[in-house]
Amino acid sequence: MARTITPPGRAGGPGRGELTPPKSADLNSLTDTGVGSWWDIALVRGIFAAVSVAACYHFRPFGLSSRTAAIVGLTFSVAVILFEIRLRRASLRRLIGAAIGSILGIMGAYLMNLVLEHTSIPEGSRSFLGVAVLLVMTYIGLIVGAIKGDMLNLQALGGLFGSERNTRRTYKVLDTSVIIDGRVADICEAYFLDGILLIPQFVLRELQLVADSADPLKRQRGRRGLEVLQRIQKMGHLEVEIAEDDFPHIPDVDMKLIELAKRYDAKVVTNDYNLNKVATLQGIEVLNVNQLANALKPVVLPGESMRVFILREGKEYNQGVAYLDDGTMVVVDGARRMINKTIDIGVTSVHQTTAGKMIFGRYDERGEQQVRQPAASTADVNGPRPGVSAEVPRSEPAGRGSEPQQGGERPPRPIFPGRE
């Protein structure tokens, strides 16, 4: 149903076909000689293969020759060992589900064989039907039980299975709009998305049509979307798959995404408002990039002060408009004359809308002037000394008995010192 497009090796980390260097704990497990080590497992597998070959060689089942029976025994032992290796990778939930399903299948086959014994079917045909029913019921019970085993809640049993991890593969379907937007690549780099990113084939076709459009703007957007996918594909911690599933009877791409999410039990990653609403109504989990961006915006409370750059005038009288780094609009009262300037404002209110968050503030020009006015000296605070003009420097005192003149002019000196 899906094929992986991730290359086998990358410079940023080991590929799917490469062996990662073992950690210290792995090296200790390889060199460990206790029970359960790698050598013990290899020894047990070798003994099992030898016993199988010897048993088939001695008993020669189905009238086979000794050499052919030994080959059959070796093949049987290798198949069992491979099956055991595969089972070791399965989670405990799937093992329990597979065991319960196979037991129920065997019980169902036994009951069906009891019914076949009371029929007039010949003995040979009845035996064949009994074995066929047993194999089919066991196989169906094993597969269905393993698939449904992921629904088991082992934590409800207490600490017995408390350390079992959930190994269920989680899918996330990417929408065309969120790929063209490009922010999903930054989210992936920040490790906020895990599991398998599922890219439908019809989304790739839509991106290709946009990239080949005659409109230069659309063509640029389509190429940007393809570059974003290549960027995500090169991330070593993500697994990207192309879904070949298509729904020819559904013409709308958004409805195809919803049907694909239902088939894979996946979440839809989008920034489309309409797709978000439709998917939510149909019970599909949606990861909206716009909602994530709004949740990460800084929280500003009324009464706080902030520094903004007034970009343009507002719609109302004497208003200025500024924007934060994340795109949040700030409407400032009394800041129309401060366009193209950075000022300090006081936040009056914050409003959350469907389009985002809006901040309203007020610019106090009088408070700004008081802050910019230089601090007065202590002598100025205490007032001018008697007989000395406020404009006269202290280093040049006025003459004795002279009156301070208007305009800050220096008083004339007496012709004869010591006389009045």
Looking at the structure, tell me whether residues 290 and 329 fall in a common domain. Answer: no
Whether 343 is covered by a domain: the verdict is: yes
At 253-272, the pLDDT tens digits run 889 999 999 988 899 999 98
Q: Residue 332's pLDDT is what?
A: 93
Whichever domain contains 316, its CATH number is 2.40.50
Q: Residue 372's pLDDT is what?
A: 53
Looking at the structure, tell me whether residues 283 and 315 fall in a common domain. Answer: no
| Domain of 315, in residue numbers | 305-371
| DSSP states along 273-293 | HHHHHHHHHTT--EEEHHHHH
The pLDDT mean for the chain works out to 78
Q: For the chain, what is the domain count?
A: 3
Looking at the structure, tell me whether residues 127 and 200 fall in a common domain. Answer: no
At 94-123, the pLDDT tens digits run 888 889 999 999 999 999 999 988 888 888
Looking at the structure, tell me whether residues 236 and 205 fall in a common domain. Answer: yes
Is the pLDDT at 228 greater than 50? The verdict is yes
Q: Residue 138's pLDDT is what?
A: 92
Q: Among the three residues 103, 127, 153, which one is the final residue of a domain in this structure? A: 153
CB 98 within 8 A of CB 149: yes
Long-range interactions of 202-209: CB distance < 8 A, separation 24+: 202/246, 202/253, 202/256, 203/174, 203/175, 203/176, 203/179, 203/253, 203/257, 204/242, 206/176, 206/253, 207/176, 207/179, 207/180
At 70-100, the pLDDT tens digits run 999 999 999 999 988 888 878 788 888 889 9
Whether 5 is covered by a domain: the verdict is: no
What is the rounded distance in angstroms from the CA atom of residue 148 to the CA atom of residue 94? 7
Looking at the structure, tell me whether residues 205 and 280 fall in a common domain. Answer: yes
Q: What is the DSSP letter of 382?
A: H
Q: What is the pTM of this model?
A: 0.47
Overall average pLDDT of the 132-139 stretch: 92
At 176-211, the pLDDT tens digits run 999 998 899 999 998 888 888 999 999 999 999 999
At 14-58, the pLDDT tens digits run 443 333 333 434 434 433 444 457 788 889 989 999 999 999 888
Whether 189 is covered by a domain: the verdict is: yes
Buried-state track 331-365, b at ≥16 Cβ within 10 A, e below 16: bbbbbbebeeeebebebeebeeeeeebebbbebee
Q: Residue 406's pLDDT is what?
A: 43
Looking at the structure, tell me whether residues 84 and 198 fall in a common domain. Answer: no
Whether 159 is covered by a domain: the verdict is: no
Q: Among the three residues 350, 371, 392, which one is the final residue of a domain in this structure? A: 371
Looking at the structure, tell me whether residues 290 and 316 fall in a common domain. Answer: no
What is the rounded distance in angstroms from the CA atom of residue 212 to the CA atom of residue 331? 41
What is the rounded distance in angstroms from the CA atom of residue 98 to the CA atom of residue 82? 17
What is the rounded distance in angstroms from the CA atom of residue 99 to the CA atom of residue 87? 12
Whether 384 is covered by a domain: the verdict is: no
CB 356 within 8 A of CB 350: no
Q: Among the three residues 295, 315, 335, which one is the final residue of a domain in this structure? A: 295
Choice among 136-140, 222-226, 260-264, 398-402 with the minimum mean pLDDT: 398-402
Whether 30 is covered by a domain: the verdict is: no
Looking at the structure, tell me whether residues 291 and 339 fall in a common domain. Answer: no
Whether 203 is covered by a domain: the verdict is: yes
Whether 26 is covered by a domain: the verdict is: no
Looking at the structure, tell me whether residues 183 and 281 fall in a common domain. Answer: yes
Looking at the structure, tell me whether residues 130 and 234 fall in a common domain. Answer: no
Looking at the structure, tell me whether residues 194 and 290 fall in a common domain. Answer: yes
Q: What is the DSSP letter of 81?
A: H
Whichever domain contains 220, its CATH number is 3.40.50.1010
Looking at the structure, tell me whether residues 264 and 344 fall in a common domain. Answer: no
